[in-house]
Chains A and B, each alone.
Chain A
Amino acid sequence: MIFNSVAYAIFFPIVSIVYLCLGTGAGNLWLLLSSYFFYMSADVRYGGILFGASLVSYISTNILEKTDKNALSRKITVVTAVSLELILLFFFKYFGFFNEMTGNYFEVSFLLPVGISFYVFQAVGYIIDVYRGDIGAEKNFVRAMLFTAFFPGLLSGPISRAGELLPQFKVRHKFDYANVREGLLRMGWGLFLKLVIASRLSIVANLVYDNHTEANPLQLILGTFAYALQIYCDFASYSELAIGSAQCMGFKLRENFFQPFFAASSAELWRRWHMSLMSWFKDYLYIPLGGSRKGKIRKYVNILIVFTLSGLWHGAAWTYVLWGFLSGLFQVMGEVLKKYRERVMELVPFKGGLAGLLHHGIQVFLTVLFFNITLVFFRAKSISQAADILKTVFTGFSLGDFAKTNLFEMGLGYINLGILLFSLLILFAVDFMRERGREPQKLLTGLNPALRWGAYYGMILMILLSTNIGAQRFIYFQF
């Protein structure tokens, strides 16, 4: 079941209203059953895999809770549990990829359950947290199972931490107008991002990438920028819908995006993009690998490992692996060149004011540019296609492309292009306000009723009129 569907429009109000009427125990059981229904509506078999991942975390965390901190059995338990979770992920997500590398030695294939990377990582994080003694194991079976299965974040995150989410299942959530209003506003914004912006951008990106051999370099650049904005709006939309759905029921999930395209360096961009995953990698991989504590070279290697694995996490294909590696490489390059860049800046006589703004603007532009270069590998069907595209852009680009490129011939007509540009302006304004520490939703709710309702209706109309345009499925579902 996807958030932008009629099924969810029926499912969500029923589940949340019933939940808010029930007590804690019955409410959690209701949420657990609803979450399995939500997940299994796509494929009944998915339920067994989710149950398996949840059961491993439930049993192992309760064993860990009972074992002595220094006992060998504790280490054996955590290694076994994490291995079991990762084996589950390997078989259902990566087996085909490795089998293909061995020339399809095994004549079997496995079902790829939607969201498996998200809930397996959530379960692994929980097991490690209990192992480290950061939190206690959840003894209540329903709550423990619900932690992995909680439907708002089940398919595409945000990846929750047990220490944050589990305590919320112990609290009785009652109807709260402010929460529901805030949650619905976030859901509305999520639908706007997905249906009005991302779906239109998908038309441009798909047209360019599906016909990349016929596209000129400028079209390839525009297609790639369109895809960068598409994936941002698409995934941020899912996160808004997930966080908003949870908030309507009184839950608070982690934020997942913080205006990534305002970042002034690769490292900063990755602290703002898919924050729940990047912080997961930081806490459960980067720091255990030594982080930045063991010298610069080790730090750079650790960054490359983390980003390469994050690429693999996204998809079982070499394009994703290379995308992850390149993202790490740009971050390492940023770190290495940092002191030289600072020296250059010291030589610049004008600081602050317009010069500062220009400097910051150049940093943001270069960050987004490098991000887009890596994204070619993320979007391309193969490494050779990505290489072709980059080669065409870097060797074939000329100013004459501007004369040959007509924006109206990139899959969108006048009206849809107009709607897209207007919507991107709204997105920029919202992100800019957030960047400046202002909350757009508070600004909106503080407006006089006529303007506020005008804005609501404008947004609703744009959403309704976009329900059949472009790609309706969320990109991150495949991960």
Chain B
Amino acid sequence: MSDKIRLVRNLILLGLPLLFMMLFLALKPMDYMSLEYPMWLEEKEFVTGKGDEGRGYETLIIGDSRAKSSVLPLDLDESGNTYNIAIGGATPIEMYYALDRYLKTHEAPKSAFVIFAPYHFYDIDNYNQTLYFNYLDIGQILEVAREARGLYGEDKVAYKGWITDVISYKLRFPSKYLAAVYEAFPGGCRAENTERYLQVRKEQGFTLFGTDESNNEPSYEVHETEFKSSGISAKYYERLLQRLEDEGIEVTIEQAPLNPASYDGLKPEYLQGFKEYMETIEKKYPEFTVVREIPRYEAECFGDNNHLNRTGAVKYTGMLKEKYF
């Protein structure tokens, strides 16, 4: 055996533990991932047509964690033709690709509700989680980085070292996932994750985040002084809306409620900036229904400072049903 072949053989043999670890991490994510993961997985499988054989739905709920925890599809539409494909921690970036995936595997829905926290029009606070959960494929990640060039938020999606991070996540390098493994084991968390997954599927995408019976802590937006609409997130928001329009989907842009402390704490200039942005959207898409006002709900409707609890979700969904159905 030549020295070169011997070296290659030995390197392969030495690499086996790494390979086994990577295989475990890639094939058994439900065994070690945090409780957020089943929600992402469920959504990704739903929009790609896994589990429902690509059955079309009449209405989709699109948005971030506020949308996810605010709209109960089965309350909104008892016929079961509504699905909440919002994700906690998502911005319009993830939602654009979710819609794209959905439209590739399903018939276009008749209508869609689009609900994002004002904060998510410019701030990308969880993109690393998107990479960590391997939600986007490589082509989509590269497209995001390309689209972000020169825009506000570029540093969040094409930060220093993002390429090696993407490689590490895609190859399931242990350095990225060991913390979760150590957290989950020795018991593992497959049972809890599976239960969560099934719960999300049963409720057609609806997920609770906060579990408080009442919460009146201010949300992150009260610290904001300026509403910025020039970033990569806003760009994807408009791509998302354009895609919905191109598909002939009836779009309603709604706002999720805030608790009294959050609502009252919003800086007037911030709120004004947000409303002006919504106005430009309304002008650009005159056939869309655009709600600019953010509802103010009592503290008893909130499970944490950002998200409705079930009482709040029932109330909000009831309001939507009364208004639009």
Contacts and interface: CB of A to CB of B under 8 A. Distances in A.
B151 interface: no
B273 to A, nearest CB: 34
B7 A6 contact: no
A464 B18 contact: yes
A180 B175 contact: no
A381 interface: no
Contacts of B179: 468
9 closest A-B pairs by beta carbon, nearest first, are: A177-B3, A467-B175, A468-B178, A7-B164, A6-B164, A6-B168, A460-B17, A468-B179, A464-B174
Instruction: Name the residue among B7, B161, B164, B173 with the largest chain A CB count within 10 angstroms.
Output: B164
A175 interface: yes
B7 A460 contact: no
Contacts of B161: 7
B27 interface: no
Interface in A2-17: 5-7, 10
18 contacts: A6-B168, A7-B161, A10-B164, A10-B167, A175-B3, A176-B3, A177-B3, A181-B7, A181-B10, A456-B14, A460-B14, A464-B174, A465-B178, A467-B173, A467-B175, A467-B178, A468-B174, A468-B179
Instruction: Name the residue among B4, B17, B18, B176 with the largest chain A CB count within 10 angstroms.
Output: B17
B112 to A, nearest CB: 39
Interface string B1-25: 0011011001001100110010000
Contacts of A111: none
B174 A467 contact: yes
B164 A177 contact: no
A181 B6 CA distance: 11
B1 to A, nearest CB: 11
Contacts of A177: 3-4, 6-7
Interface string A444-473: 000000000100110011001101100000
A181 B3 CA distance: 10
Contacts of A467: 173-175, 178
Nearest to A461: B17
B68 to A, nearest CB: 29
Contacts of B176: 468
B251 to A, nearest CB: 41
A453 B13 contact: yes
Interface string A156-186: 0000000000000000000111001100000
Contacts of B17: 457, 460-461, 464
Contacts of A453: 13
Interface in B171-200: 173-176, 178-179
A218 B4 CA distance: 53
Instruction: Name the residue among A180, A457, A467 with the largest chain B CB count within 10 angstroms.
Output: A467
Interface residues of B, number: 20
Given A464-B17, A464-B174, A467-B173, 19 more contacts: A5-B164, A6-B167, A6-B173, A7-B161, A10-B167, A175-B4, A177-B4, A180-B7, A181-B7, A453-B13, A456-B14, A460-B17, A461-B17, A464-B21, A465-B178, A467-B174, A467-B175, A468-B174, A468-B176
Nearest to B3: A177
Interface of A: 5-7, 10, 175-177, 180-181, 453, 456-457, 460-461, 464-465, 467-468
Contacts of A457: 17
Contacts of B4: 175, 177
Contacts of A175: 3-4
A327 to B, nearest CB: 35
A468 B174 CA distance: 8
Contacts of A468: 174-176, 178-179
A423 to B, nearest CB: 17
A231 to B, nearest CB: 22
Nearest to A465: B178
Contacts of B175: 6, 467-468
Contacts of B164: 5-7, 10
A372 B18 CA distance: 37
Contacts of B21: 464
B155 to A, nearest CB: 15
Contacts of A176: 3
Interface string B153-176: 000000001001001100001111
A5 B13 CA distance: 21
A180 B161 CA distance: 28
Contacts of A5: 164
A7 B167 CA distance: 9
Contacts of B7: 177, 180-181
Contacts of A7: 161, 164
A465 B182 CA distance: 9
A465 B173 CA distance: 11
Contacts of A6: 164, 167-168, 173, 175
A457 B20 CA distance: 12
A234 B35 CA distance: 36
A461 B21 CA distance: 10
Contacts of A456: 14
Nearest to A43: B160
A186 to B, nearest CB: 14
A181 B21 CA distance: 24
Nearest to B161: A7
B18 A465 contact: no
Contacts of A464: 17-18, 21, 174
Contacts of B13: 453
B303 to A, nearest CB: 31
Nearest to A13: B11
A250 to B, nearest CB: 14
A181 B178 CA distance: 28
A460 B178 contact: no
A8 to B, nearest CB: 9
A457 B15 CA distance: 9
A414 to B, nearest CB: 13
B167 A465 contact: no
A52 to B, nearest CB: 24
A265 to B, nearest CB: 41
A10 B173 CA distance: 13
A349 B164 CA distance: 65
Nearest to A42: B160
